[in-house]
């Protein structure tokens, strides 16, 4: 397979997964939006976390809420737990990297807040620990996972939402996660500030 064919194959595989996952992911995306709306309308905040590309997605989502997505509107309260290098490195150094997000959830999270937890495999220990900490704080969870949901899936309660991409390739899962985040942003905008 030459370079052009490989490029086209990536485009095809990405598009094919998005289309095949659309009907199964739409219902949990709708539920997730309702959870986000409930938190935001009651003046609570959204915390987000993940590792690597999922850290970038957590930051991307928080920035879309704080600044704006596609329409002019007031900022929404969101914190990406992946951005404070002093907090992350001090927690990792003094305790363990496994609790870099959980410790921040304990400090910054409150009942009524929501945690967006992103892990393509569902096995990220620090994300798992963040979910456990969020439950202790009586926060709801929106989990973006892939594959079989990993260790995250059995932790979630009936109050939580899992948006699980039916794939095992990390790059393809991340591409769908980004689309899911853009769906959430769009639906928030149109629910909170409907067109006149």
Quote the tokens at residue 170. 């990390």
Name the residue among 52, 112, 101 with its Cα closest to residue 79: 101
Binding-site annotation: residue ranges for Zn(2+): 60, 64, 174, 182
Instruction: Decide if 61 contacts 188 (C-beta within 8 A).
Output: no
Residues at the binding site for substrate are 51-53, 64, 93-94, 119-121, 124, 174
Sheet strands side by side (includes 114-118): 78-80, 46-49, 114-118, 140-146, 161-165
Q: Which residues are annotated as a binding site?
A: 51-53, 60, 64, 93-94, 119-121, 124, 174, 182
| Cα–Cα distance measured from residue 58 to residue 79, given in angstroms and rounded to the nearest whole number | 9
């Amino acid at each position: 397979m030459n370079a052009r064919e490989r490029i086209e194959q990536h485009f095809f595989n990405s598009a094919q997964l998005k289309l095949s996952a659309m009907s199964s992911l739409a219902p949990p995306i709708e539920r997730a939006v309702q959870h986000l709306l409930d938190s935001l309308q009651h003046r609570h905040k959204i915390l987000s976390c993940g590792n690597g590309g999922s850290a970038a997605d957590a930051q991307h989502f928080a920035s879309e809420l704080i600044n704006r997505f596609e329409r002019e509107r007031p900022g929404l309260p969101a914190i990406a737990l992946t951005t404070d290098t002093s907090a992350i490195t001090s927690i990792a150094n003094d305790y363990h990297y496994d609790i870099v997000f959980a410790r921040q959830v304990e400090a910054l999270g409150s009942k009524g807040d929501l945690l967006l937890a992103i892990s393509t495999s569902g096995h990220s220990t620090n994300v798992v620990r963040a979910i456990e900490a969020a439950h202790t704080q009586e926060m709801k969870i929106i989990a973006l996972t892939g594959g079989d949901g990993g260790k995250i899936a059995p932790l979630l309660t009936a109050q939580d939402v899992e948006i699980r991409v039916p794939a095992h390739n990390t790059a393809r899962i991340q591409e769908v996660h980004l689309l899911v985040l853009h769906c959430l942003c769009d639906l928030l905008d149109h629910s909170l500030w409907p067109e006149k």
